[in-house]
Amino acid sequence: MPPDSESLVLLPATVLAEAIRTRTISCREVMSAFLDRIEQRNASFNAIVSLQDRDRLLDEAAQRDGDIASGRQLGALHGLPIAVKDMANTKGVRTTFGSPIFRDFVPSFDSLVVARMKQAGCIVIGKTNVPEFGLGSHSFNPVFGATGNAYDATRSAGGSSGGAAVALATSMVPVADGGDFMGSLRNPAAFNNVFGFRPSQGRVPAWPVNDSFVAQLSTEGPMGRSVGDVTMLLDVQAGYDPRSPLSLDDGQRFNEENLRAYDARNTRVGWLGSLDGYLSMESGVLQTCEAGLSRLISLGCDVEPTALGMPPDAVWDAWLVWRRWLVSASMAPHIKAGHRNLMKPEALWEFDQAQTLTGSQTLQASQTRSAFYQSMLGLFERFDVLALPTAQVFPFPAELRWPSVIAGKAMDTYHRWMEVVIYATFAGLPCISVPVGFGPTGLPMGMQLIGKPRGDLAVLQLAAAYETTLADLRIGRA
């Protein structure tokens, strides 16, 4: 007997996909259940925006059922409802980037990652909310307003994939896409008790590549309520595309069978913690993450504290140059078009800061980044995985633009409070945020597991083993 609507939305995406494939449940039943859930819960959280017409979506689901009846299975996502992050172009569906400049913009094409998800059979039901231009890990904007945290709607959902994380945690979607520059897949996953995976640079290629896409640091990737769901979506998103110059062509595939073929015993985990006190941490963050380390130890992992191996302030200074340079390039067309008055202060700050950058500063930052990569390689001679918190604070009040003080230390930029996430990004390494539990005030936290270059599968395998210890955390059951 098929599950009832309330139970159906709680099923893992992999289980839903298999049930659709075997005709245990219909695509129309799945669509109806998730649309009912959105109607019940979205008003409280504002996670999904630009929701499409219910009757049209049900008709499209019925068409997918017809495909199944005729023996046509489009792919792994056949019939699954997906709300695409509002930073990715969706043909015929409004795409605002959280900016009033694009309030009424309806693309005539799909971005590459959206096209791949559609080819795999998903049905795009709408978008998930983001910060304006994806800047700042707090999902609010002047077009749709703020997204509330899944565990306390008065708190931040994180970002920029904040809407995606909340939609997952409240079971309004079965699986979600997102993007990650400065932790945008990882921070909201931590804030909402789900999994967020930043793939290796080039694993999930992007197209079109233009001035609005930060090709050297940003990547798209999957989020899910289980590692199996994350892996399924990654397999759809990943793969070589000649239009993307950084695209990987190593033929790796990702599936649940590969996840199971793994033994976590004797995995060497280097715990970076707060980088010996360099990173300011809200009280309770490190202690909550240490519970996650205990779970790894229970699997037979060897956990050892370690240092970054390079002065973290030098890494931050180089990061600022790269970020200002790249974000400024994406903001320049809007400034040139006379839209400065429609842009958030943080975006203007990024642009203005970049105007004084010199060629020598950029070259020095590039050299520092290369040195940092070599330093990380040195750590991976001793460790299989590096671990550190996903965030430096628990979800903060939604009315704040960003945390200005952590543990008594003033944050000198609007994104300094997110410094903990830059290391995987700057080295182009695969990294997953895994749930570790709830802090003193009952709000979620996550821990990053950073893998070796192009070691995406190994990171997912360890995360899947770790997931077996999380039954008490009720992942995706907010």
CA angle 413, 417, 421 (to 5 degrees): 115
* Residue 238 Ramachandran class (φ > 0 left, ψ -120 to 50 alpha, else beta): beta
Q: Which of 26, 137, 160, 330 is catalytic?
A: 160
Cα 321 from Cα 441, distance rounded (Å): 36
Contact 401, 414 (CB under 8 A): yes
Cα 241 from Cα 206, distance rounded (Å): 8
Contact 16, 26 (CB under 8 A): no
Q: Which of 32, 184, 328, 330 is catalytic?
A: 184
Contact 117, 148 (CB under 8 A): no
Burial of 243 (0-12, 13-18, 19+ CB in 10 A): exposed
Say what the alpha-carbon torsion angle 136, 141, 142, 145 is, to the nearest 10 degrees: -140
**336 carries an active-site annotation:** no
Q: Which of 26, 32, 85, 99 is catalytic?
A: 85
The tokens for 196 are: 């967020």
**344 carries an active-site annotation:** no
Q: Where are the beta strands (DSSP E) in 50-164?
A: 81-85, 123-128, 140-141, 145-146, 148-149, 152-156
Strand partners of residue 198: 431
Torsion 294-477-274-266 (CA) sign: positive
Cα 208 from Cα 232, distance rounded (Å): 24
Cα 74 from Cα 326, distance rounded (Å): 37
**247 carries an active-site annotation:** no
Cα 277 from Cα 133, distance rounded (Å): 32
Torsion 429-432-437-440 (CA) sign: positive
DSSP state of 342: G
Please list, in sequence order, all residues whose beta carbon lies within 8 angstroms of the beta carbon of residue 182, skipping any fewer than 6 positions away: 137, 323, 415, 418, 421, 422, 425
Give DSSP secondary structure letters for 201-263. Answer: TTTS--SS-STTS-TTT-EEEEEESSHHHHHHHHHHH-S--TTSTT---S-----HHHHHS--
Q: How many CA atoms lie within 13 A of 52 on its CB side?
A: 26
**Residues with a known catalytic role:** 85, 160, 184
